Amino acid sequence: MVTNIGHFNSTLHRSLNDGMQPSDPPSVRPGTIQPFDIEVLKTQQAGLRHQGRLHWMHWCIISLSLVITVFAWKTSENALNKEDAIRFEREAERVVDLMRERIRHYEDALLSGVAAMQSHGGDMSRAEWRLYSEQLDLNNRYPGINGIGVIHYVDTLDMTDFLAAVRRDQPDFTIHPEHIYDLSLPITYIEPQVQNAAAMGLDIAFETNRRTAALYARISGTTQISGPIQLVQDETRTPGFLFYAPYYNLDHRQSTGDDAEGLEESFRGLIYAPLVVRNLVKGVLEAENRLVSLAISDEDSVLFEEKVETSTDYVPRTLEENVPMHGRTWKFRISSKPEFENVAEINQPIVVLMSGLGLDAMLFVLFWMMSHSNRQVLSLAEEMTENLSAQAVQLSENNRDLESFAHIVSHDLKTPIRNIHSLADILEEDLAEYMTSNDACHEIQGSLDNLRAQATRSQSLISGILEYSILDATDSPTSQVDTRATIAEIADQLSLPAERITMSGSFPVLRTNKTRFDQVLANLMDNAIKYNPVKESASVGITVRQEGDFYLFTVSDNGPGIERRFHERVFQPFTTLEAVTDIHSSGIGLSIVQRAVERQGGYVRIVASEGPGTVFEFSWPCEAPHCAPEQVARCA
């Protein structure tokens, strides 16, 4: 017995010396978070701070908006000017048309007088003419006309007989003034006579303008307007004119014909109307209804000119038009009044300009507020970056501490556990003689077996924790992975015969992280065998199909299956549905699978299936640039 105890002590001493050697200091593994490069970060922040101010693009937009505003203002102003020009032309044409219409209206009165005279055989008494003029109702129907009268044509040889005939009705009738011409054209009748008394007996042949228009009416047979004159009955001595309509001896005219000589031989006289241009314009156009002023001239003589008070800086619109008027050409000069420019209630160009400038100002304020907000965000980001930088440094230090701790666990903690397992074997060897004796305590063997089982389970847990904790820090570079060959290698490592594994689908060759892919398949296939109650009959089925940019792999087994209520729970770390006496289960395998798949952008889940067994489905990315050349067509 003493020999056995000594052997135990020497073996224990040797084992402890082998297992408790000081471990090498851990090195920093790839993937450890490194502190920020503060200088690079400050350089980036300086660039962002510069961009936080108003950029040249902002000024370009504002300048372009100002150009558009000015363009819209000028366009609106030009459009308004064109509209005003059209409106002014329309107003000017209206004035001219009204004057033409009034002159035609007066012409109708004269022609009706001619008809009345012809109907009386070419001669009417004073009473008959007064009755006719009263029927015309000059004041109401012909505003602006001074009166309507009859001018007889009298040859010098017939003057005595003519005066005798007229003086029977008008004893004090005389012809005046005297002149050198061998004909007379005295005004015999005119109504209303009271206001035209000064014109009675006036021989219109004495003055060139009166005489020329009358003689031309005689030989043309048309109505004529005289040149500018001052009417003898007009006390204001303002410009006026005479409007003539000739009448003839119809019987004599039929024999002589309608040529100039025939008309001259059969000519009897004129029906005429004296008009003061000022009264004519007043009768035609009321000043309060007009937005334009009017000036009329006949050659160099001004017939009418309207005076309008305007400011010195007002530039009126002006239109001049020559209008034929019964043998004369009147020049109409029409100018806009200040009221014309004020007709529009809203000055559209100014509204457009102010609106555009308002929008430009709002745009500038918007850009300024955005820039100000950016600067505030940058200030906040700088403050947060300083805090994050400090936290990152601290986190990096913590990660290094965790790395060191993981290595300590890997070496210094697993070694004592292995020694415990070895000590249990040594104890069992040294107590072998005692355990066969009659005095042996049979509970010792159970305790030794339990000790070895707990040591084995502890090793599995520590290995799982280490593998899970360093999952993010052990990413290996991508390499070409033949998925079918990988599955065969894993099956060989698990001692899974070929007849107990089925594969269906077109298994691709990928360029991917081989370590991660091997972890996922190895854990799923290992679980399919490990948790099968009859391991000798355990089988695994693997399928693959492509959906978009991912391959979908399914791993199925013929084991007892997992209840639906545990489908989410089994992916949590240290979760196992087996009893705690399962010394080989760490409860970390499916967590490693989930974490590895999700780091590749995929997912893993348990697919509900009918009957026994479990079906795991996971997706693995297939991006065309990362696929092997022969698989590009299938990955695209």
pLDDT in tens, 290-302: 788 889 999 889 9
What's the rounded Cα separation, in Å, for the pair 373 and 352?
31
Residue 542 exposure: Cα atoms within 13 Å on the Cβ side: 24
Beta bridge partners of 552: 545, 619
What's the rounded Cα separation, in Å, for the pair 636 and 475?
25
CATH fit for domain 471-635, picks 3.30.565.10, 3.50.50.60, 3.20.20.150, 2.40.10.330: 3.30.565.10
Report phi then psi at 581, rounded to 5: -75, -5
Coil vs helix vs strand at 181: coil
Can you give the pLDDT at residue 403?
67
Mean pLDDT within 76-98: 87
Can you give the pLDDT at residue 140?
84
Q: Is the dihedral of CA 66, 68, 69, 74 positive or negative?
A: positive
Name which residue leads in pLDDT, 400 or 113: 113
Which strand (E) or helix (H) includes residue 437? none
Terminal Cα-to-Cα distance of the chain (whole angstroms)? 75
Asked if residue 461 has pLDDT above 70, the reply is: no
Give buried/exposed letters for 21-41 (b at 16+ CB in 10 A, else e): eeeeebeeeeeeeeebeeeee
Mean pLDDT within 366-395: 77
625 confidence band (pLDDT: 50, 70, 90) = very low
Asked if residue 406 has pLDDT above 50, the reply is: yes
Asked if residue 28 has pLDDT above 60, the reply is: no
What's the rounded Cα separation, in Å, for the pair 139 and 146?
9
Mean pLDDT within 268-286: 86
What's the rounded Cα separation, in Å, for the pair 273 and 266?
22
- Pair 154, 183: CB distance under 8 Å: yes
What's the rounded Cα separation, in Å, for the pair 633 and 636?
5
Coil vs helix vs strand at 600: coil
Give buried/exposed letters for 298-331 (b at 16+ CB in 10 A, else e): beeeebbbbebeeeeeeebbebeeeeebbbbebe
Asked if residue 271 has pLDDT above 80, the reply is: yes
Strands 479-482 and 501-504: unpaired
pTM (two decimals): 0.51
611 confidence band (pLDDT: 50, 70, 90) = low
The encoded tokens of residue 152 equal 């007889």
Name which residue leads in pLDDT, 341 or 146: 146
- What are the pLDDT digits (tens) for 201-220? 999 999 999 999 999 999 99
Can you give the pLDDT at residue 573?
66
Radius of gyration (Cα) for the chain, nearest Å?
63
**Strand ranges for 231-315 from DSSP E:** 239-248, 267-276, 292-298, 301-305
Mean pLDDT within 507-512: 91
Mean pLDDT within 108-123: 90
Mean pLDDT within 111-136: 90
Identify the DSSP state of 184. E
Name which residue leads in pLDDT, 338 or 634: 338
Name which residue leads in pLDDT, 50 or 70: 70
Cβ neighbours around 274 below 10 Å, total:
24
Name which residue leads in pLDDT, 626 or 449: 449
Report phi then psi at 517, rounded to 5: -60, -40
Can you give the pLDDT at residue 286?
67
Asked if residue 10 has pLDDT above 50, the reply is: no
Q: Is the dihedral of CA 369, 373, 374, 378 positive or negative?
A: positive
Cβ neighbours around 205 below 10 Å, total:
23
Contacts of residue 377, defined as CB under 8 A and 6 or more positions apart, other chains included, come to none
Mean pLDDT within 173-193: 91
- What are the pLDDT digits (tens) for 230-265? 888 777 788 999 999 999 988 777 777 778 888 888
Name which residue leads in pLDDT, 128 or 403: 128
What's the rounded Cα separation, in Å, for the pair 398 and 383?
23
Question: Cα–Cα distances in Å, from 516 out to 426, 476, 521, 546, 607?
Answer: 39, 8, 9, 19, 22
Mean pLDDT within 324-333: 93
23 confidence band (pLDDT: 50, 70, 90) = very low
Range list of H helices, 409-511:
414-430, 432-435, 443-469, 483-493
- What are the pLDDT digits (tens) for 535-556? 888 899 999 999 989 999 999 9
In this structure, of 15-29, 70-84, 124-138, the range with the lowest mean pLDDT score is 15-29
CATH fit for domain 120-285, picks 3.40.470.10, 3.60.20.10, 3.30.365.10, 3.30.450.350: 3.30.450.350
The encoded tokens of residue 159 equal 């003057």
The encoded tokens of residue 209 equal 């303008």
Give the start-to-end residue ranges of the domains of the chain.
120-285, 471-635
Most confident listed range (287-296, 332-341, 605-614): 332-341
User: For the range 411-418, what are the long-range contacts, defined as Cβ-Cβ under 8 Å and sequence gap of 24 or more?
Assistant: 411/23, 412/20, 412/23, 413/462, 414/459, 414/462, 414/463, 415/19, 415/20, 416/19, 416/20, 417/455, 417/458, 417/459, 417/462, 418/19, 418/455, 418/459
8 confidence band (pLDDT: 50, 70, 90) = very low
